[in-house]
Amino acid sequence: MAEAAPVAAPNAELLEWPKKDKRRLLHAVYRVGDLDRTIKFYTECFGMKLLRKRDIPEEKYSNAFLGFGPEVSNFVVELTYNYGVSSYDIGTGFGHFAIATQDVYKLVEDIRAKGGIITREPGPVKGGQSVIAFVKDPDGYVFELIQRGPTPEPLCQVMLRVGDLDRAIKFYEKALGMRLLKKVDRPEYKYTIAMLGYAEEQETTVLELTYNYGVTEYTKGNAYAQIAIGTDDVYKSAEVVSLVIQELGGKITRPAGPIPGINTKITSFLDPDGWKTVLVDNEDFLKELE
């Protein structure tokens, strides 16, 4: 009797979807204690543009979207101000955002002249060639300034700390279709980093995951909220995430479907380390911007 042909692994086709999907990082969402103060700092010190601002008095919050280019093509920050809340706990898990600039030294002097706090003076990274500096915004969020040539995406990194780097890499590859662009182990400083994204590091915004030797858990605080990523099919993408969560851990926090009022289709979930991602329907996102 002839052997039966091997059956394709269930869900194998579904798990291929994130690689075919049209995805990009849309924005990072976090909370600030004084919206106008942060807008002033980002526009005057970093050179960002205020793209839009909205006030939702019935929900008692305001938003501002800032970046280096339009939301249809660029990664931006979405700042949230909750009425009457002037400060937040950033926690130990959130690392930094990064901005690419052609002259770190000049940008640092401009920031210093406007009263910005420089936490690391410009200079080469330890054991490397890249010139970097670190600054703090008025709420205590850290921004790394990286010297590099002209780039279509100056707002170039979101860094988060994770307790198991290989698990986190696998999660973002399988659940979100990201590519591992670079992995660097620095045993002399007891950390390993991984850069993941949808295009090369010099061209786009990447997620930088950091593992500090022996540290498996971090506090999340209540300041940083999430990143948003575009997808052509929220429902299919949510199915993939559910499958990957069963394997690697995490949690669906909002099943796929439209948001009441604006009808944009989204789903949201936590990765195995508790970091939140929201998947947003690409067409609905463009309609929101009109």
Domain of residue 140 covers: 20-288
Does residue 6 register a pLDDT over 90?
no
> Phi first, then psi: what are they for 261, rounded to 5°?
95, -50
Q: What is the per-residue DSSP string for 212-238?
A: ETT-------SSEEEEEEEES-HHHHH
- Round to whole Å and give the CA distance between 158 and 136: 15
Contacting residues for 106 by C-beta, under 8 A, at least 6 apart: none
| Residue 284, token pair as written in the block | 């609905």
Residue 262: pLDDT band with limits 50, 70, 90: confident
Residue 1: pLDDT band with limits 50, 70, 90: very low
Distance of CA 145 to the CA centre of its chain: 16
Contacting residues for 256 by C-beta, under 8 A, at least 6 apart: 234, 235, 237, 238, 265, 266, 267, 279
Q: What is the per-residue DSSP string for 145-160?
A: EEE-S--S-SEEEEEE
Is residue 189 one of the residues assigned to a domain? Answer: yes
Exactly one of 144, 153, 201, 208 is catalytic; which is it? 144
Is residue 5 one of the residues assigned to a domain? Answer: no
Is residue 10 one of the residues assigned to a domain? Answer: no
Residue 10: pLDDT band with limits 50, 70, 90: low
- Round to whole Å and give the CA distance between 281 and 257: 10
Q: What pLDDT sits at residue 191?
A: 96
Q: Give the C-alpha distances (Å, rounded to integers) separating 180 from 10, 172, 209, 264, 273.
A: 25, 9, 11, 30, 18
Strands 76-82 and 25-31: parallel
Residues forming the annotated binding site for Zn(2+)? 78, 96, 144
Is residue 102 one of the residues assigned to a domain? Answer: yes
Is residue 13 one of the residues assigned to a domain? Answer: no
108-162, pLDDT tens digit by residue?
999 999 889 999 999 998 877 899 999 999 999 999 999 999 999 999 999 999 9
166-184, pLDDT tens digit by residue?
999 999 999 999 999 999 9
Instruction: Name the one residue in this structure whose structure tokens are 């490397």.
Output: 128
Domains held by the chain: number:
1
Q: What pLDDT sits at residue 63?
A: 96
Instruction: Name the one residue in this structure whose structure tokens are 């990274």.
Output: 125
* Least confident window among 9-13, 29-33, 134-138: 9-13
Q: What is the pTM of this model?
A: 0.94
Mean pLDDT of 31-57: 96
Is residue 140 one of the residues assigned to a domain? Answer: yes
Residue 30: pLDDT band with limits 50, 70, 90: very high
Q: Is 16 considered catalytic here?
A: no
Does residue 73 register a pLDDT over 80?
yes
Furthest C-alpha separation in the chain: 83
Does residue 101 register a pLDDT over 60?
yes
CA torsion through residues 90, 77, 155, 236, sign: positive
Residue 18: pLDDT band with limits 50, 70, 90: very high
> Phi first, then psi: what are they for 64, rounded to 5°?
-140, 140
Residue 7: pLDDT band with limits 50, 70, 90: very low
Q: What is the mean pLDDT of the chain?
A: 95
Mean pLDDT of 196-219: 97
> Which 3 state secondary structure label does DSSP give 127?
coil
Is residue 90 one of the residues assigned to a domain? Answer: yes
Is residue 162 one of the residues assigned to a domain? Answer: yes
- Round to whole Å and give the CA distance between 40 and 45: 8
CATH number at residue 65: 3.10.180.10
